Amino acid sequence: MLKGADDVAMEQEDSVSRNGEMASWDINDIKLPQDVKHTDWFQEWPDSYVKHIYSSEDKNAQRHHSSWAMRNTNNHNSRILKKSCLGVMVCGNDCSTLDGRKIYLRPAICDKARQKQQRRCCPNCSGPLRLISCRGHGGYPVTNFWRHEGQFIFFQSKGAHDHPRPETKLEAEARRSIQKAQTAFSPTCPRLKRFRETE
C-alpha cells in the first residue's frame, strides 16, 4: 500500500522523537553516534533538511537509492558520498495525459545524455521537453549525503526540492519500453526529424 504525505511526515516525526541521536549529529562530524537504539524506515523521497540513520543491512540504503533524480557530485571527503538533484523534465506545452496527469520525466544522469533528452519530444503531445533544474538549497541543487559507519548508514539531506517529483526509475523504464514498441509503428515527431536533418 502506498503511503500518503501525512503518513511519511508522521513516520519522520516518530523517528526524530525515537532517536535522540537524530538532531545531535552532522554528516561531517569526525565521529557519528554508534549507540543507536532504533534505525529508520527507508525514505524513497527524502525532502527538506532531514537526517536518517539506516541499518547497514538495508539494501536501499546500501545502494544510496532515491526516487529523486540524483547524480554523484565531487566531494573532497572520501568517507562521504555526495549526490545532487538534477530536477525534472517537463513538457514545454504543459500538456496533460488523458487521465489528467502532467508529464514529469526523469532527467538523464550524464550531461551529454541530458542535453540530447532536451532535444526530444514530449511522449504525450510531441511538444518540446524542458528541464526544470533543482534550486532548493539556496539557489543550488538539493544535496544528499551518505556515510557508512559501523552497523549504520547515515543520511542527511540539505535543501527542499522546488520542483515536482519525476517519474521513478521503474516508471521511466516501463515508459521507454512502451515507446520503443510504438516507434516501430509510428512516424517520428517533426521536431526530432528536423533536428536529425540539421545534424
Q: What CATH number corresponds to the domain at position 103?
A: 2.20.25.670
Q: Quick check: is 31 in a domain?
A: no
Please tell me the predicted confidence (pLDDT) of residue 195. Answer: 41
Residue 148 lies inside a defined structural domain of this protein: yes
pLDDT of residue 169: 84
**150 located within any domain:** yes
Residue 94 falls inside a structural domain? yes
| Beta-bridge partners for 34 | none
**Residue 58: which domain range?**
54-179
Among residues 50, 89, 90, which one has the least CA distance to residue 66? 50
**129-186 pLDDT tens trace:** 999 999 999 999 999 999 999 999 999 999 999 999 999 888 878 777 777 776 666 5
Structural domain count of the chain: 1
Q: Which three cell numbers stand for residue 44?
A: 524513497
- On whether residue 38 sits in a domain, the answer given is no
Q: Give the per-residue pLDDT at 24.
A: 84
CA separation for the pair 26, 8 (Å, rounded): 22
Q: What single DSSP character describes residue 39?
A: P
- Amino acid type, 193: K
Residue 105 lies in a domain: yes
Q: Is residue 18 part of a domain?
A: no
Q: Which residues of the chain have pLDDT under 50?
A: 1-21, 191-199
Instruction: Tell me the sheet residues that pair with 162.
Output: none
Report pLDDT for 185. Answer: 61
Residue 40 inside a domain? The answer is no
Distance, CA of 91 to CA of 111 (rounded, Å) = 19
Cell of 125: 503531445
CA distance 100 to 109: 28
Are the C-beta atoms of 36 and 24 separated by less than 8 Å? no
The pTM assigned to this predicted structure is: 0.74
